[in-house]
C-alpha cells in the first residue's frame, strides 16, 4: 500500500469536499515559495503554505470572515499542530459570485 506524499493536501481536499460539496475546488501548495523564510527555519515539512479556492453554495448569505472561519474550523487541528499548516490563503465564493466575477473579467 503506497502512502501519499501529500498527506496534508489530501486532508484539505477530503474535508473541504465532504463539508461543502464544492462546485469548484483548487488547492495550491505554495510552501516552496516560503521555505527560505526565517519562520520556516528548521521545518522539514513540504506542506506549510496553501492557497485554497472554493466555490460552494454553502457560503451563501455569509460574510467573508464567517466563510473563512468555516474553513479554519475544518482544518483546526492541522493548523495548530507543530509543523502543520502555517499559512492558508482562501478564496471562498458562491457559484453566483464566481459567475459574476468571470463576466466582469470578460467584460473588462
Partner 1 sequence: MSTVTEVTTIDAFNQHRSSLPASTLLVLNFHTPWAAPCAQMATVLATLASSFPATSPPTVSFLSINAEELPDISEDFDVTAVPFLVLLRDGNVLETVSGSDASKVRDAIERHAGAGADGAGKTQLPPLQQVTPRAAAEPAPTTNGATKDLSGYAPTANDPATAPAMTDPAQSSKEELFARLTELVKAAPVMLFMKGSPSAPQCGFSRQLVGLLRENSVRYGFFNILADDDVRQGLKEFADWPTFPQLWVGGELVGGLDIVKEEFANDPDFLKDYSVKASA
Q: Which is nearer to partner 1, 2 or 65 (CB)?
A: 65
Give the sheet arrangement for strand 87-93, strand by strand: 24-29, 49-55, 87-93
Question: Which stretch, 2-10, 18-26, 54-62, 69-77, contacts partner 1 (CB under 8 A)?
Answer: 69-77
Q: 71, exposed or middle or buried, with CB in 10 Å at 0-12, 13-18, 19+?
A: buried
Q: Per-residue contact track with partner 1, 4 to 33, x per CB under 8 A?
A: ------------------------------
Is residue 9 within 8 A of residue 47, CB to CB? The reply is: yes
Residues forming contacts to partner 1 in the complex (CB under 8 A) are 34, 37-39, 64-65, 68-69, 72, 76, 79-80, 87-91
Amino acid at each position: 500500500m503506497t502512502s501519499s506524499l501529500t498527506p496534508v493536501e489530501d486532508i484539505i481536499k477530503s474535508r473541504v469536499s465532504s463539508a461543502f460539496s464544492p462546485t469548484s475546488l483548487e488547492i495550491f501548495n505554495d510552501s516552496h515559495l516560503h521555505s527560505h523564510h526565517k519562520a520556516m527555519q528548521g521545518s522539514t515539512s513540504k506542506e506549510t503554505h496553501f492557497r485554497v479556492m472554493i466555490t460552494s453554495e454553502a457560503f451563501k448569505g455569509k460574510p467573508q470572515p464567517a466563510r473563512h472561519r468555516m474553513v479554519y474550523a475544518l482544518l483546526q487541528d492541522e493548523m495548530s499542530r507543530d509543523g502543520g499548516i502555517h499559512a492558508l490563503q482562501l478564496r471562498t465564493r458562491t457559484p453566483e459570485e464566481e459567475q459574476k466575477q468571470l463576466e466582469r473579467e470578460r467584460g473588462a
